[in-house]
């Protein structure tokens, strides 16, 4: 068996540009971006394009170091789900040429080389490359070899829209001069380099028994890869089943109640089909079409559930989506087709209740979903905790039912953050405040973070006059966003308690005081 590997370099950059429409100068979604772009997670670069690498930007580099080397660097957030969604058309295109595609990760796939059907391995690689360029993937590279590991390394040495074919039985000779850093394990690579084994050939020359004794089972597996003896075959993916469920009405229905009554069996069939496969739907798109020759789309909306959709939940969503007036009449033409399209399905075991119950109340879910349907998707939000220095930075509001992405890790050190306890109420707009010392002079913070006087009295928007300070703590200075033209400079925060027992979180910046939160 021969293996063909398709590698699309910097796929996270390609997917991020396609989603944000930031591909300035690109020739389509997968076209070459002529600006340096980097994808970040946790303030570290996880992927960058060739234009960024020319400036010295590398994977694992911190954000400030990457921007120091390339001030024009375009920064985009990391999103593995987005990368997988963007790679699905590539899988489908290759699957149309050769069934049994094995997706290794977004940007990398493998199939059994269809050499006989296309008249040779080079011709097969050319057909695959032409097909992917046709669907908008510009940078595609192909490798063909006897095993999966060697084929991947061959693809990484191919040119843009090119291929590298390793002859049968030539895997060991091809891998001999490659550095051990091609192995995706930093600990093992560091150990081999410290032992003086800089190439795969040097590692492959060691006796297999000694490698197993010294490096264990995993080291023995890598040793087999270095010798070109990889018994792993690419496991082709099973094409996803068509889980879309729809129902047509003849004649078309002009009443919401009639539509909801008629779609109940279809909703039950959809939930049953998912259950037979051990799946549940957490995001479903509902489409309603008119009964005309053009199949006019009357309504379309994607609904997200905090747990999973039941048949009753789907019927409720149809009712809320189509209802336009209190008497149940539809706005527009009568409905001829209702379609349920599962957009996100997950394993049912991941949503099962614990031994003693748990989860959210179904009535609460349905009530919140109805409010969301009436007011809009962005009208109902839930707070999510993330990392940050200020209370406002440590919370993020996401639409109800949506899974948050790109959160800052709360367990990382955040110099200058406010110590616990956290305030119970954070103001959307800070209150203008004044703080003076015992002589009536305004209290300020110097460039070195020192307080010019001890706070004695303060005046906030919640009190009609000046109030004496009972106790105070701080400052916690932070000098962030110094590159911004607005709001740049040193900011210091204080915890101040008045004689009435109420505690406040205040901020001093540029001689101006603001009240950001309250401890209640």
Task: Say what the pLDDT of residue 240 is.
Answer: 59
Task: Say what the pLDDT of residue 500 is.
Answer: 81
CB 514 within 8 A of CB 494: no
Handedness of CA 117, 120, 123, 125 (dihedral sign): positive
Give me 466's structure tokens: 């000046």
Place of tokens 């409010």: 371
Determine what percent of the chain is predicted with pLDDT higher than 90.
3
Mean pLDDT of 6-21: 85
Task: Say what the pLDDT of residue 268 is.
Answer: 93
The answer to the question of residue 384 being in a domain is no
Q: What is the pLDDT of residues 385-396, one digit of tens each?
A: 887 777 777 778
Q: Determine if residue 501 is left, alpha or beta; phi over 0 gives left, psi from -120 to 50 gives alpha, anything else beta.
A: left
Q: Does residue 144 sit in the same domain as residue 252? A: no
Query: Whose CA is closest to 91, among 82, 104, 80, 81?
Result: 104
Q: How far apart are CA 63 and CA 75, in angstroms?
A: 9
Domain span at residue 322? 245-351+359-373
pLDDT at 194 over 70: yes
Give me 230's structure tokens: 């990889």
Q: How far apart are CA 52 and CA 37, in angstroms?
A: 6
The H or E element that residue 294 is part of is none
Task: Say what the pLDDT of residue 24 is.
Answer: 41
3-class SS of residue 329: strand
Question: Mean pLDDT of all residues in the chain?
Answer: 80
The answer to the question of residue 378 being in a domain is no
Q: At residue 77, what are phi and psi to the nearest 5 degrees?
A: -75, 150
Higher pLDDT, 325 or 263: 263
- Region of poorest pLDDT, from 10-24, 331-345, 366-380, 495-509: 366-380
Q: Does residue 116 sit in the same domain as residue 18? A: yes
**Domain final residue, candidates 142, 165, 188:** 165
For residue 251, what is the domain's CATH number? 3.30.1490.100
Mean pLDDT of 57-79: 87
Q: Burial level of 105, CB count in 10 A (0-12/13-18/19+)?
A: exposed
Mean pLDDT of 283-296: 82
Mean pLDDT of 421-450: 82
Task: Say what the pLDDT of residue 22 is.
Answer: 44
Q: How far apart are CA 420 and CA 408, in angstroms?
A: 19
Report cis status (omega within 30 of 0) of the bond before 475: yes
Q: Does residue 180 sit in the same domain as residue 160? A: no
Determine what percent of the chain is predicted with pLDDT higher than 70.
83
pLDDT at 266 over 90: yes
Higher pLDDT, 366 or 156: 156
Question: Strand order in 297-304's β-sheet?
Answer: 245-253, 335-347, 279-290, 297-304
The answer to the question of residue 381 being in a domain is no
DSSP 85-131: HHHHHHHHHHHHHSS--EEEETTEEEEE--HHHHTSHHHHHHHHHHH
Mean pLDDT of 118-145: 86
The H or E element that residue 411 is part of is none
The answer to the question of residue 412 being in a domain is no
pLDDT at 48 over 70: yes
Q: Does residue 260 sit in the same domain as residue 322? A: yes
Higher pLDDT, 61 or 21: 61
Task: Say what the pLDDT of residue 189 is.
Answer: 86
Task: Say what the pLDDT of residue 26 is.
Answer: 43
Quickly count helices (H) and strands (E) in the chain. Answer: 14, 20
**Domain final residue, candidates 165, 186, 203:** 165
Q: At residue 229, what are phi and psi to the nearest 5 degrees?
A: -115, 85
pLDDT at 265 over 90: yes
Q: 506 forms bridges with which residues in the sheet?
A: 494, 515
Q: What is the pLDDT of residues 310-355, one digit of tens each?
A: 898 888 888 877 875 445 556 567 888 999 988 888 777 655 554 4
- C-alpha 88: how far from chain center: 16
- Region of poorest pLDDT, from 119-133, 238-252, 376-390, 476-490: 476-490
Higher pLDDT, 421 or 337: 337
Task: Say what the pLDDT of residue 119 is.
Answer: 79
pLDDT at 273 over 50: yes
The answer to the question of residue 17 being in a domain is yes
pLDDT at 403 over 50: yes
pLDDT at 306 over 70: no
Task: Say what the pLDDT of residue 482 is.
Answer: 61
The length of the chain, given as a count of residues: 520
The answer to the question of residue 382 being in a domain is no
CB 380 within 8 A of CB 370: no
Q: What is the CA radius of gyration of the chain?
A: 30
pLDDT at 494 over 70: yes
Q: Does residue 187 sit in the same domain as residue 283? A: no
- Residue 41, CA atoms < 13 Å, CB-side half-sphere: 12
Task: Say what the pLDDT of residue 235 is.
Answer: 57
Q: Does residue 332 sit in the same domain as residue 274? A: yes
- Region of poorest pLDDT, from 185-194, 341-350, 430-439, 441-450: 341-350
pLDDT at 405 over 80: no
Q: How far apart are CA 135 and CA 174, in angstroms?
A: 32
Q: Does residue 339 sit in the same domain as residue 457? A: no
Describe the crossing of helices 208-226 and 186-194 by its angle, rounded to 10 degrees: 120
Q: Does residue 211 sit in the same domain as residue 298? A: no
Task: Say what the pLDDT of residue 331 is.
Answer: 55
Q: Does residue 158 sit in the same domain as residue 212? A: no
Task: Say what the pLDDT of residue 366 is.
Answer: 65
Q: 434 falls in which pLDDT band (50, 70, 90)?
A: confident
For residue 134, what is the domain's CATH number? 3.40.1170.60
Q: Burial level of 499, CB count in 10 A (0-12/13-18/19+)?
A: exposed
The answer to the question of residue 439 being in a domain is yes
CB 515 within 8 A of CB 461: yes
Query: Whose CA is closest to 346, among 308, 378, 318?
Result: 308
Q: Does residue 19 sit in the same domain as residue 158? A: yes
Count the domains in the chain: 4
Task: Say what the pLDDT of residue 30 is.
Answer: 45
Burial 343-380 (b: 16+ CB within 10 A, else e): ebbeeeeeeeeeeeeeeeeeeebbebbeebbeeebeeb
CB 47 within 8 A of CB 38: yes
Q: How far apart are CA 396 and CA 400, in angstroms?
A: 12
Q: 284 forms bridges with which residues in the sheet?
A: 303, 342
Q: How far apart are CA 137 and CA 291, in angstroms?
A: 38
Query: At a CB cut-off of 8 Å and minimum separation 6, what does 346 contact?
Result: 279, 280, 282, 308
CB 416 within 8 A of CB 478: yes
For residue 220, what is the domain's CATH number? 1.10.150
Handedness of CA 11, 12, 14, 18 (dihedral sign): positive
The answer to the question of residue 396 being in a domain is no
Q: Does residue 195 sit in the same domain as residue 59? A: no
pLDDT at 267 over 90: yes
Q: Does residue 26 sit in the same domain as residue 120? A: yes
**Domain final residue, candidates 119, 135, 165:** 165
Mean pLDDT of 141-148: 88
Task: Say what the pLDDT of residue 29 is.
Answer: 43
Q: Determine if residue 275 is left, alpha or beta; phi over 0 gives left, psi from -120 to 50 gives alpha, anything else beta.
A: alpha
3-class SS of residue 171: helix
């Amino acid at each position: 068996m021969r293996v063909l590997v398709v590698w699309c370099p910097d796929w996270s950059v390609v997917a991020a540009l396609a989603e944000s429409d930031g591909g300035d100068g690109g020739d389509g979604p997968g076209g070459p971006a002529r600006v340096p772009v980097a994808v970040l997670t946790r303030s570290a670069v996880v992927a960058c394009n060739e234009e960024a690498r020319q400036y010295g930007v590398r994977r694992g580099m911190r954000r400030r170091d990457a921007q120091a080397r390339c001030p024009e660097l375009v920064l985009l957030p990391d999103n593995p789900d987005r990368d997988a969604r963007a790679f699905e058309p590539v899988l489908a295109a290759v699957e149309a040429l050769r069934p049994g595609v094995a997706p290794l990760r977004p940007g990398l796939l493998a199939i059994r080389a269809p050499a006989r059907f296309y008249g040779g391995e080079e011709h097969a690689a050319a057909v695959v490359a032409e097909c992917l360029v046709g669907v908008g993937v510009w940078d595609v590279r192909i490798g063909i070899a006897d095993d999966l590991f060697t084929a991947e390394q061959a693809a990484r040495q191919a040119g843009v829209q090119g291929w590298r074919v390793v002859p049968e039985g030539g895997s060991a000779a091809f891998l001999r001069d490659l550095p051990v850093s091609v192995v995706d394990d930093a600990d093992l690579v560091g150990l081999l380099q410290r032992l003086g084994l800089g190439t795969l050939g040097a590692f492959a020359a060691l006796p297999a028994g000694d490698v197993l004794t010294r490096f264990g089972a995993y080291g023995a597996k890598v040793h087999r890869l270095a010798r070109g003896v990889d018994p792993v075959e690419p496991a082709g993916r099973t094409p996803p089943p068509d889980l879309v469920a729809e129902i047509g009405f003849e004649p078309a229905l002009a009443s919401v109640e009639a539509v909801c009554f008629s779609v109940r069996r279809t909703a039950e069939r959809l939930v049953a089909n998912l259950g037979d496969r051990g799946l549940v739907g957490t995001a479903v798109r509902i489409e309603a079409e008119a009964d005309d020759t053009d199949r006019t789309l009357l309504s379309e909306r994607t609904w997200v559930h905090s747990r999973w959709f039941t048949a009753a939940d789907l019927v409720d969503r149809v009712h809320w989506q189509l209802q336009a007036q209190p008497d149940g009449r539809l706005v527009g033409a009568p409905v001829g087709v209702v379609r349920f399209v599962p957009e996100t399905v997950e394993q049912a075991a991941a949503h099962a209740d614990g031994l003693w119950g748990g989860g959210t109340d179904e009535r609460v879910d349905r009530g919140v979903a109805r409010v969301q349907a009436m007011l809009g998707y962005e009208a109902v939000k839930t707070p999510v905790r993330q990392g940050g220095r200020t209370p406002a930075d440590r919370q993020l509001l996401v639409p109800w039912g949506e899974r948050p992405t790109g959160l800052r890790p709360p367990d990382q050190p955040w110099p200058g953050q406010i110590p616990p306890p956290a305030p119970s109420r954070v103001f959307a707009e800070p209150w203008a405040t004044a703080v003076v010392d015992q002589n009536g002079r305004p209290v300020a913070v110097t460039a070195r973070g020192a307080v010019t006087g001890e706070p004695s009295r303060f005046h906030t928007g919640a009190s009609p006059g000046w109030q004496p300070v009972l106790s105070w703590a701080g400052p916690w200075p932070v000098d962030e966003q110094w590159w911004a033209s607005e709001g740049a400079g040193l900011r210091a925060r204080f915890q101040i308690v008045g004689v009435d027992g109420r505690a406040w979180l205040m901020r001093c910046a540029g001689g101006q005081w603001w009240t950001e939160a309250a401890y209640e």
